[in-house]
Structure 1
Amino acid sequence: MRKKIALAVVGVLVVLLVWQWELVSYGLMQARGQVRIMVNSRPVAELMADPNYPDSLKQKLKLIAEIKRFAIDSLRLDPSGSYESFYDLQGKPLMWVLVGAERFRLVPVSFEVPILGTFSYKGFFDESRLREADSLLRKQGYDTRINEVAAYSTLGFLNDPILSNMLDRSEGSLAELIIHELTHGTLFVRDNLEYNENVADFVGEYGAERFLAQKYGRDSEQYRNYVAGKTFYERYDEHILRGTRLLDSLYQSFKPQTPVAVKDSLKWETIGQIVATSDTLTDERTQTSMRLVNKRRFSKLNLPNNAYFIGYLTYRKQQNRFRQEFENQFNSDFGRYLTHLKQTYPSL
């Protein structure tokens, strides 16, 4: 009898494994990538004691420790064991994310992640698996975009290491990144990626500005450059978000009988206008008109597609909402606002 039960259990497991093989194999791929990072990370204390490790990089490691302490003590983000080890990427990408979007609607392809919920992107440690997934989406008629990942958070389940590419960042960019990722470990709502990324962006930017003001002073080059850059990218965000509204209106005007060739022509004409008009944006860090990095990247033969605009809707659409709540309803009291967010949006 026991043997029959055991065989039945094994049979059920085999069926489940075959049925969900894509999910299982994807999970194994991600687990291998995470284990590789954990196994090959070195304690920061070990690097700091290494006489052969460059002093300039040791200063960046010290700065990260200061940023983390500020995030916990001053911003009241949850304590974390992250950023106390170091992983050398050796000049290679950490991982990639794939974003998919419908061809004539600003609607993302959804990817289900067990426990965490639905995401509008999918991460890959394996580049060959990434290319296969990208090819499949494109064959199905979706717009796609692949981005390299500079950092990510395991949401407090694991202790995330400092990545070698982080040390190339300016003081302000580094502070924003560390605080952004620590925010994910404090506030993360299942099935609400847009909220999670927008709130982490808001806290990251607010926290970085406060940190720089406290450490270097508001007259410092570090602070002034960060604020000027933040202002510039806010202009770019607004420009792109206006573009998403323009595209959305265009797509809604399409009729079922509108030929695909006509839809494509109008789509790319509109996207081309959005890219071209980004030339009007200025950057106070240089006091001169400059072309955006994104603008230089795109040519007439390589315009951003719907997947690019989906990224902005995911990360930046709610920025004004958080800022207005913080300033108007909570009188810029961050402690009260963080408590409100925790109570209103229970995290995992």
Structure 2
Amino acid sequence: MENKRRVIKLLLIIGSSLFIQACSSVGYYWEKIQGHTELLNKQQPIQVVIDNPLTNPDVKTLLINAQQARNFASKVLLLPDNGSYRNYVDVGRDYVVWTVVATPPYSIQPEEWCFLIVGCLSYRGYFSEQAAKEFAVTLKDKNMDVYVSGAKAYSTLGWFDDPLLSTMLYKSEAYRVGIIFHELAHQKIYVENDTAFNEAFATSVELEGVKAWFNKTENKQKFKQYLVVKKRDKDFKSLLNVARKELKILYESNKPPQQLQIGKEKIFVNLQASYKHYKKKWNNYTGYDKWMAQGLNNAHLALVATYNNWLPAFSRLFENANGDYKIFYNEVKRLTELDKMQREKKLEELMNTDD
């Protein structure tokens, strides 16, 4: 019932914006409301799904684990104790939403779109893959570099009780519990118009949460496997970030477009060569092959730093709090009270603090 009241409230907000928003923007908001409402109408309490004899035994096992992680998130990690991730929805597809990222042809800076409630973001999300691809075409027609990707989860930032989705039931226990911690962290603390801050904070909570989870369950082997995967993922993102920085330097050189294009193509060729070198270090791990074979452009690299740039600063903040989540969150909230320039200065100071 509460979710329905919130839908009505959101409809009123959007309705009041008709006088100031373009029709395309209103259509975009409507697509969001329809998509989320459809999920809400399908949801069932997790315990009901678990108790249903027709539920697939493997799904039942994953749901029990997710239910335990949800309780752990509130009791141990001090994340919001609300109705989020206590109901379940079988989405019936591999991704719940699709995001569109775009950059100019000779810039690594992503386009931003500003919305009600969440502020400005470096991407646009769609519940319909077709709608995402159609929007991407309009951007390509403007000579933009564009990247469309699927996402397993999303957060309404506490406006609704977000359901646990079938797309979130990763085979890996670490990723399965981690995504719950990550999305709840967005509900705990969120700053409008600062994607880098929000994602680094949520990622830090995810990492520390998974560590605490495996310490509790005393499954050291799974935690070791998780660390290996995270190290490989960190190496891969570092590889992409090198190319991103090279592109940034190139685009700031004020060279003519023809030379910029030549330099751009060379950087992406070198990226592929570097990737082959890294694969040897990873014992020919093929998990990133499909992503690397897409035909990369600026948009693929635009948000590489978003989830990771400030991560060391939050790790330091957690260390300074001696692992006390209450102290940690209070310190993070203090950062949110600063303007963006002051906040980034403080984060830089944290990153540069000697051990």
TM-score relative to the length of structure 1: 0.86
Which residue of the other structure, out of 278, 293, 296, is the alignment partner of 2:287? Answer: 293
Give the secondary structure class of the aligned counterpart of 1:70: helix
Label 1:208 to 1:15 Cα distance change in 2 as closer, same or farther (>3 A). Answer: closer
Pairs aligned (count): 324
Out of 25, 28, 31, the position equivalent to 1:26 is 28
Give the superposition deviation at 1:318.
1.5
1:150-189 equivalences under 5 Å are 150-189=152-191
Structure 2 counterpart of 1:308: 300
SS in 2 for 1:61: helix
The answer on 1:226 being equivalent to 2:226 is yes
Distance 2:207 2:229 in 1: 11
The letter for the 2-side match of 1:294 is Y
Worse-matched range after superposition: 270-279 or 136-145:
270-279
Q: Which amino acid is 1:320 matched to? A: P
CA contact (8 A) 2:122 2:195 kept: yes
Structure 1 unmatched runs, 5+:
1-12
Task: Choose 181-190 or 227-236, whichever is displaced more.
Answer: 227-236
Report the CA distance between 1:298 and its aligned residue.
2.7
1:321 aligned partner: 313
2-structure distance, mates of 1:122, 1:75: 30
* Letter of the structure 1 residue corresponding to residue 96 of structure 2: L
Give 1:159's aligned amino acid: D
In structure 2, give the amino acid aligned to 1:103.
P
- Give the Cα separation in 2 of the matches to 1:73 and 1:345: 24
Q: Distance in 2 between matches of 1:339 and 1:253?
A: 42
Q: Determine the structure 1 residue equivalent to 2:86.
A: 84
**Partners in 2 of 1:16 and 1:118 — Cα distance?**
19
Quote the offset at 1:331 in angstroms: 4.0
Deviation of 1:288 after TM superposition, in Å, equals 4.9
Distance in 2 of aligned mates of 1:44 and 1:341: 32
Q: 1:140 to 1:241 in 2, by over 3 A?
A: same
Task: Give the conservation status (yes or no) of the 8 Å contact 1:280–1:289.
Answer: no
SS in 1 for 2:169: helix
Q: What RMSD over aligned residues (CA atoms) do the two structures have, in Å? A: 2.3
Structure 2 residue runs of 5 or longer lacking an equivalent are 1-14, 339-355
Q: Which has the larger radius of gyration?
A: 1
CA distance in 2, matches of 1:341, 1:214: 25
Matched with 2:74 is 72
Q: Following TM superposition, by how much is the alpha carbon of 1:272 offset from its aligned partner in structure 2, in angstroms?
A: 1.9
1:138 Cα deviation from its structure 2 partner: 0.9
> Would you say the 8 A contact 2:103–2:298 is kept in 1?
yes
| Residues 91/247 of structure 1: CA separation in 2 closer, same or farther (3 Å cut) | same
Residue deviations 1:172-215 (CA, integer Å, cap 9, x gap): 01111110001011011111111111111111111112102211
For residues 288 and 18 of structure 1, the distance between their equivalents in structure 2, rounded to whole angstroms, comes to 52
Q: Counterpart in 1 of 2:273?
A: 276
> What's the % identity of the aligned pairs?
23
* Equivalent pair of 1:96/1:125 in contact (CA under 8 Å): yes
Amino acid at match of 1:341: V
**SS in structure 2 of the partner of residue 148 of structure 1:** strand
Q: Distance in 2 between matches of 1:289 and 1:240?
A: 19
* Higher deviation after alignment, 175-184 or 127-136: 127-136
Contact 2:39–2:91 under 8 Å retained in 1: no
2:328 equivalent to 1:337: yes
CA separation of 1:38/1:346 partners in 2, compared to 1, >3 Å: closer, same or farther?
farther
Contact 1:279-1:291 at 8 Å conserved across structures: no
Alpha carbons 2:155, 2:162 under 8 Å: kept: yes
Q: TM-score, normalised by structure 2?
A: 0.84
CA–CA separation in structure 2 for the residues paired with 1:272 and 1:291: 20
The whole-number CA distance in structure 2 between the counterparts of 1:297 and 1:153 is 24
**Cα separation, 1, equivalents of 2:18 and 2:92:** 39
**Cα displacement (A) at 1:289:** 2.2
Matched with 1:209 is: 211
Post-superposition shift, 1:100? 0.7
- Taking the aligned partners of 1:212 and 1:148, their CA distance within structure 2 comes to 28
Secondary structure class of the residue paired with 1:86:
strand
2-structure distance, mates of 1:281, 1:47: 43
